[in-house]
Amino acid sequence: MIESKTVPDVEERAALRERDRIPVAGPWVTDLEVRYVAEAAANDWYTHAGESVGLFETEFADYLGTDFAAAVPHCTSALHLAMLALGLGPGDEVIVPESTWVATAAPVTYVGATPVFADIDADTWCLSPESLARCVSSRTAAIVTVDLYGGIPDMADVRSVAAGIPIIEDAAQAIGGKLDGRLAGTLGDIGTFSFHGTKTLTTGEGGMVVTDRSDLAERIQRLRDHGRTPADHRFFTTEELGFKYRMSSLQAAFGRAQLARIDELLDKKQQIFAWYEERLADVPGLELNHRRDGLTNTFWMVTAVLHPDYRLRARRMMELFDLHSVDTRPFLPPLSSLPAFAGYHTAVTAARRNKTAYDIASRSINLPSALMLTEAQVDRVCDVLHTILRPRKELS
Ligand SMILES: Cc1ncc(COP(=O)(O)O)c(C=O)c1O
């Protein structure tokens, strides 16, 4: 009898590839999260309504050592609230680094201010203090620093350039990071975090805004709840128009469980980085995430920067990884290159000036860094990278 189907057909092969595909990011969820959420689902109503939110905020503030923490729907709203609390508006300029997710800069436009794009430092991949100094003007009303991929900029130099201009630290990607003994998110006037499903600590979607300044805390408290203060809760009085930027109890319960496991989550990120570092140590002209004395980089996304001699563009690298069912991402493209900012004159000057952000983005990708990644999967990713680079090694 003739075997009608001895080899997998195209669709089966595609399905197999998809099953074996190594994801670029994702959380680590245990029974603890499920238990916390189930308890909140059963209990966080009536006199206990929203209890998990308050607990999550208190525990998060304790973890960071800040006076105030407000749980919000995402880091985008955390940044929006931070900018509102600082009173930013039309006529103000807000300096942001070129290399970040668009959510760092979008809220600048929500408040009617103008984003100014500063270059990044070639080593830290974060805001360059030298470029910052060139961007500061009499209209600069705030600076947003970004702890890119779990690294942290040279904050002492940033602060000395800022000379009193308020700093928002966008620590969306850097929970648990440290610089000179201080935790990421506590290095500016206000810190913001993301708990998106790709982040080290997740609530699915979610965020937190933290500060030690009581004036900012009071504004954030009011603006995130339709202009009400906690004292107004039983009455429908509205002092001013605000926003509905609150986290749900079920998300907060999930976040509490993740926060209880934060050391384990951070250790796994260190482990993933160490696996990559060991396997890629022999590749010439390959740079991974930055480390320096006094910095705890949390390696949210392990990122590979190839020497220009490889003449391998980030897009091409991604295509090659795709062929091997490995999911990767490009280094974040410079904000000034995004069509969304084409109408801003600040983007035109930035695109000419910010050579480092453009250069690094052209030859760098994020490698799979999901929390559930196994050592065998890292082996596979590194084998693919070795295969991609082998014919090109003589160039380096
Ligand atoms: C640097 C940075 N800022 C802000 C955000 C926005 O976070 P969210 O998706 O929680 O709004 C992100 C999300 O990826 C981010 O990476």
User: What distance separates the 2 farthest-apart alpha carbons in the chain?
Assistant: 85
How far apart, in whole angstroms, are the C-alpha atoms of residue 294 and residue 297?
Answer: 10
Q: Based on the fold, state whether residues 244 and 132 are members of the same structural domain.
A: yes
Transcribe 32-95 into DSSP letters.
HHHHHHHHHHHHSSGGGTTHHHHHHHHHHHHHHT-SEEEEES-HHHHHHHHHHHTT--TT-EEE
User: Which ligand 1 atom sits closest to the C-alpha of 207?
Assistant: 10
| pLDDT exceeds cutoff 60 at 394 | no
What's the number of domains the chain is made of? 2
Q: Based on the fold, state whether residues 135 and 232 are members of the same structural domain.
A: yes
How far is CA 368 from each of CA 193, 198, 200, 237, 373, rounded to the nearest angstrom?
21, 11, 13, 49, 8
Per-residue model confidence (pLDDT) at position 237: 81
Ligand 1 surroundings by CB, under 6 angstroms: 74-76, 100-101, 103-104, 146, 170, 172-173, 194, 196, 207
Residues 6+ apart with CB under 8 A from 23: 327, 368, 370
How far apart, in whole angstroms, are the C-alpha atoms of residue 340 and residue 325?
Answer: 31
**Residue pair 96/322 in contact by the 8 Å Cβ criterion:** no
| pLDDT exceeds cutoff 90 at 6 | no
pLDDT category of residue 364 using cuts at 50, 70 and 90: very high
Tokens describing residue 126: 């974060």
Q: Which of 102, 126, 147, 173 to mutate to test the pocket of ligand 1 (most atoms within 8 A of CB)?
A: 173
Q: Based on the fold, state whether residues 281 and 342 are members of the same structural domain.
A: yes
| pLDDT exceeds cutoff 60 at 395 | no
Domain boundary among 230, 260, 290: 260
Q: Based on the fold, state whether residues 272 and 384 are members of the same structural domain.
A: yes
Q: How many Cα atoms sit within 13 Å of 363 on the Cβ side? A: 18
Q: Which residue's CA is the nearest one to ligand 1's atom 14?
A: 101
| pLDDT exceeds cutoff 60 at 393 | no
CA of 288 to the centre of ligand 1 (A): 22
Per-residue model confidence (pLDDT) at position 236: 84
Per-residue model confidence (pLDDT) at position 128: 98
CA of 164 to the centre of ligand 1 (A): 26
| pLDDT exceeds cutoff 90 at 235 | no
Residue among 178, 199, 268, 393 flagged as catalytic: 199
Of the chain, the end-to-end C-alpha distance in Å amounts to: 56
Q: Based on the fold, state whether residues 287 and 309 are members of the same structural domain.
A: yes
**CB-based burial label for 182 (10 Å; 0-12, 13-18, 19+):** middle
Per-residue model confidence (pLDDT) at position 35: 98
Q: Which residue's CA is the nearest one to ligand 1's atom 8?
A: 75
pLDDT category of residue 53 using cuts at 50, 70 and 90: very high
Provide the whole-model pTM: 0.95
Q: Which residue's CA is the nearest one to ligand 1's atom 7?
A: 75
Whose CA is closest to 82, among 8, 159, 167, 178? 167
Give the percent of the chain with pLDDT over 70: 94
pLDDT category of residue 58 using cuts at 50, 70 and 90: very high
CA of 100 to the centre of ligand 1 (A): 9
Domain boundary among 196, 230, 260: 260
User: Which ligand 1 atom sits closest to the C-alpha of 78?
Assistant: 11
pLDDT category of residue 12 using cuts at 50, 70 and 90: low
Decide: helix, strand or coil at residue 142.
strand
Q: Is 199 an active-site residue?
A: yes
User: Which ligand 1 atom sits closest to the C-alpha of 196?
Assistant: 10
Q: Based on the fold, state whether residues 333 and 227 are members of the same structural domain.
A: no
Domain boundary among 214, 236, 260: 260
Residues of the domain holding 190: 31-260
Provide the mean pLDDT of the chain: 94
CA of 76 to the centre of ligand 1 (A): 6
| pLDDT exceeds cutoff 80 at 357 | yes
**Residue pair 168/189 in contact by the 8 Å Cβ criterion:** yes
Decide: helix, strand or coil at residue 359.
helix
Residue 315 belongs to domain with CATH number: 3.90.1150.10
Q: Which of 76, 127, 149, 243 to mutate to test the pocket of ligand 1 (most atoms within 8 A of CB)?
A: 76
Tokens describing residue 54: 């308050």
How far apart, in whole angstroms, are the C-alpha atoms of residue 91 and residue 105?
Answer: 16
Q: What is the mean pLDDT of residues 172-186?
A: 98
Give the percent of the chain with pLDDT over 90: 90
Q: Based on the fold, state whether residues 243 and 278 are members of the same structural domain.
A: no
Per-residue model confidence (pLDDT) at position 391: 72
By mean pLDDT, which of 13-22, 93-102, 245-254 is the weakest?
A: 13-22
pLDDT, tens digit, 9 for 90 and up, residues 95-143: 999 999 999 999 999 999 999 999 999 999 999 999 999 999 999 999 9
| pLDDT exceeds cutoff 80 at 296 | yes
Per-residue model confidence (pLDDT) at position 228: 87
Q: Based on the fold, state whether residues 75 and 98 are members of the same structural domain.
A: yes
CA of 170 to the centre of ligand 1 (A): 8
User: Which ligand 1 atom sits closest to the C-alpha of 205?
Assistant: 10
User: Which ligand 1 atom sits closest to the C-alpha of 194?
Assistant: 10
Name beta bridge partners: 296. 178
DSSP state of 192: E
| pLDDT exceeds cutoff 80 at 13 | no
Can you tell me which residue has the tokens 């002209």? Answer: 285
Q: Are strands 93-97 and 140-146 parallel, antiparallel or unpaired?
A: parallel
Q: Based on the fold, state whether residues 160 and 228 are members of the same structural domain.
A: yes
CA of 79 to the centre of ligand 1 (A): 9
How far apart, in whole angstroms, are the C-alpha atoms of residue 237 and residue 312?
Answer: 60
Per-residue model confidence (pLDDT) at position 229: 80
User: Which ligand 1 atom sits closest to the C-alpha of 173?
Assistant: 16
Q: Based on the fold, state whether residues 52 and 122 are members of the same structural domain.
A: yes
How far apart, in whole angstroms, are the C-alpha atoms of residue 250 and residue 367?
Answer: 31
Structural domain contains residue 124: yes
CA of 123 to the centre of ligand 1 (A): 22
Residues 6+ apart with CB under 8 A from 224: 70, 72, 77, 81, 242, 243, 244, 245, 246
DSSP state of 352: H
CA of 395 to the centre of ligand 1 (A): 37
Q: Which of 173, 194, 208, 301 to mutate to test the pocket of ligand 1 (most atoms within 8 A of CB)?
A: 194
Sheet strands side by side (includes 114-118): 68-72, 207-211, 190-194, 167-170, 140-146, 93-97, 114-118
Whose CA is closest to 203, among 393, 102, 22, 74? 74
Whose CA is closest to 71, among 216, 246, 243? 246
**CB-based burial label for 2 (10 Å; 0-12, 13-18, 19+):** exposed
Residue 92 belongs to domain with CATH number: 3.40.640.10
Q: Which of 77, 79, 100, 101 to mutate to test the pocket of ligand 1 (most atoms within 8 A of CB)?
A: 101
How far apart, in whole angstroms, are the C-alpha atoms of residue 275 and residue 278?
Answer: 5
Per-residue model confidence (pLDDT) at position 2: 42
Per-residue model confidence (pLDDT) at position 8: 53
Q: Would you mind telling me the total number of residues written for the chain in this entry? A: 396
